[in-house]
Every structure is written in C-alpha cells, then in structure tokens.
Copies of this chain bind each other. A is one copy, B any other.
Amino acid sequence: MGIRERLSGNEAAATAMKQINPDVVAAFPITPSTEIPQYFSSFVSNGLVDTEFVAVESEHSAMSACIGAEAAGARAMTATSSNGLSLMWEMIYIASSLRLPIVMSLVNRAVSGPLNIHNDHSDAMGVRDSGWIQLFSETNQEAYDNLLMAHRIAEHKDVLLPLMVCQDGFITSHAIETIELLEDDKVKEFVGTYKPEHYLLNDKEPIAVGPLDLQSYLFEHKKAQAEAMRNAKKVIKEVSEDFEKLTGRHYSFFEEYKMEDSEIVIVCMNSTAGTAKYTADRLREEGIKAGVLKVRMFRPFPAEEIAEALKGQKAVAVLDKADSVNGAGGALFEDVVSGMFVNNVNVPTVNYIYGIGGRDTTETEIRRVYSDLLEIANSGKADNPYRYLGLREGGEK
C-alpha cells in the first residue's frame, strides 16, 4: 500500500502536482518555493504530465494566468512564497471573488522588509481574509496529502474557492523525509476530472467573467462567497474522510494531540507542531498533562470546534509565527480567543509571537511555554496575554 520515497517538502509538492497533472501551471520562481516550478517544469519537459506550463514574467502575471486558465475551464496550479505572494495580492482577491478553484503551494517565508528568506507565516497571515481556503502542513507528508485533497475541496460545487496548501520554508520545503506516496492511478481516480459548470471556453454558454458589480449586487456576491467558505468545512471533512479510507491517514480540521486528558495546551500550525508534540511527550514522562492542538484548516477557521476542544483546559497558549503589529495579538490568537468568546469558553489563554524570520524554535522554547502555562494554570490568571518566545536578550514584553 503506497510507495515510500525520500523527498523534500518541495519535491513532495511537485510530486503531488505531477500526479494531479493539472491543465495549467503558471509560476515565477522565488525562494524557498522555487524548486516546485523547477521540478514541475522538468516533468513537463520530460512528458510526464500534459500540463501547459506558463513561464510568466512576474507573480502578478502568474496569478493572472491561473485566473485566465481557470476561468477558461482548466485546472490551474501555482506555487510561491513571501513577496511573490505580495506581488500577486491584487489578483489573489480576484481569484477568490471570481470563485475560481485555483490551487497554490505556499511555502511560507517572512515577508520583507528587511529582506529575509527564512520561514515565518507573515505571507499566509497577510492573505487570511482574501477568501482562499488555507490548509497548513506539519510535514512533507501532510503537504503532499493536502495537495491531493485540494482540488476535490476547491472544485466542489458548494465551494468553488481557491485553496492554498502551506508548509514551512526550508524547515519542511528543503528537508528530506520518508513519505508515503499514492500510486499514480489512485491519485488520478481520487482527484477526478475537473468539470466546471460555467467556463469561458464553453461555446454553448457564452458568459462574461469579472464584469462591473456595483452597489446593487456585490454584497450578495460576497455573501455567497462567505457561504461557500462556510460550506468548505463540510466538504473538507468529507474529502478528508475519503482520503483516510484510501490511505489510512486521518485528517481533521485540526489535530488534538494527547488532549483527551490534557490540562495545558499549545495551539500552533505547521512544523512547530512536531516540536510541540515531541516536547509534550517528554513532559508527560514527567507527569505533566501537556497537549497540542495543531490547526490544519486555518481558513475557513473552525472557531466553534476549537473553542469546544479547548473547553476544560486549565491554560492555553496560542503560537503565532507572524506578528500582527497591532498591539492586540497575533492572527491565530485572535481567531482562537474570539471563537472562545463567542462560544462562551473561558480558559486563560496567552499569545506567543515566535519564530519570526526563521528564528529556531526548539524543545527549549516549547518547554518554556508549557512552563508558563503551568504557572497560569496554577494561578488561574494570565497577566500578560501578549508575549514573545525566543527573542534574544530578554526582549519580551
């Protein structure tokens, strides 16, 4: 069952794209995602896929080409990072508003400035309101698996929204892990064929895409888009269950690691979850009831489900790998606690900004968080909710 291969996260993403064999890939290279279009273009050159690879002249053009392709009726994919996503921004919103189920590999990297090529989540956080579904991936395996599920989710008639699969730049994108690949034919069958209901190349139904949409209609269209985002939860659930049947690998909106009896929990995303789980295991050997809640589905945000999962904990820490620079907490933190507020879940919860610009986060830092949580659990109070983790020379505030 499955093929075991040693692949970097970028190779895993490119391999998923090869097996998906999309109609169009348009991409512009940027570290650390460069390898994805690079590997993929070699698949094109070697005839391993039928894809039209559009070698665009900027990221703005990359997303524009994907939009054109999807609007025409094709399945389109791209990959980018950081400032590549920044330059796409105008088109990112257009892609989702036009309800085009484009799939992107976003290899997370700090957005400039100053210039930094390493991992944090500022790129993904910056587009979290743009109407794209966002799935995060702890490992190379998850990056691969999320991509295999992506089109089934994005293209579902109740969804029709673009989707980005995130993974941590260099940490997983360039690190090699043994992962389990599906056979090509199984991928083909699982992903299925893209059959859009409305598309420009359908000569039986001439349509316009992207016309003027003034005061009388835009609100209703945005509402329909928001409805689609809510629908995505159901579809993500179904597709993940189908995927589990096929592969035995289980995916939910989020992973609850040792939370059956946990008292203190770290909420985080992507590769940090691995370190957190490892540290939780170590702490449990010391009798500390540590748990980890790893968010996989960040958009739509499962606010209610997470609130429910955190109910009864004694203390929670939300780790944000991007600073919202707003004086009021990171993006994940706000999502979590506003969900707790709405759902009347009262657990002392603190926020840690960490790992900015590729700063390493090791067992040491994670232990420190759990240690803080123990203190909060004991006191029942979280005096300073906005914290830093891993800052040099005690720069914490």
Contact = CB atoms under 8 A, between A and B. Distances in A.
- Taking the full assembly, how many copies of this chain does it contain? 4
B341 A328 contact: no
A73 interface: no
Which of A111, A219, A324, A392 has the largest number of chain B CB atoms within 10 A? A219
Contacts of A391: 219-220, 223
Contact of A392 (B220, B227, B300): B220
A300 B329 contact: no
A293 to B, nearest CB: 16
A267 to B, nearest CB: 14
Contacts of A136: none
A125 B116 contact: no
Determine the interface band of chain A, counting residues with CB < 8 A from chain B: 35 or more
A226 B327 CA distance: 7
A113 B209 CA distance: 10
A299 interface: yes
Contacts of A225: 323, 325
A342 B324 CA distance: 16
Nearest to A354: B219
A211 B325 contact: no
A325 to B, nearest CB: 4
B301 A328 contact: yes
B331 A218 contact: no
Which of A94, A128, A300, A325 has the largest number of chain B CB atoms within 10 A? A325
A5 interface: no
Contacts of A57: 56-57, 61
A180 interface: no
A244 interface: no
A356 interface: yes
Contacts of A230: 327, 397
B338 A219 contact: no
Nearest to A299: B326
A200 interface: no
Contact of A112 (B90, B214, B333): B90
Contacts of A322: 129
A266 interface: no
Interface in A237-285: none
Interface stretch (A31-39, A142-150, A357-365): A357-365
25 contacts: A57-B57, A83-B90, A93-B112, A93-B126, A94-B112, A94-B113, A97-B114, A98-B114, A114-B213, A114-B218, A115-B211, A115-B213, A116-B215, A118-B214, A213-B357, A219-B356, A222-B353, A223-B391, A223-B395, A226-B323, A299-B327, A300-B328, A329-B338, A338-B341, A341-B341
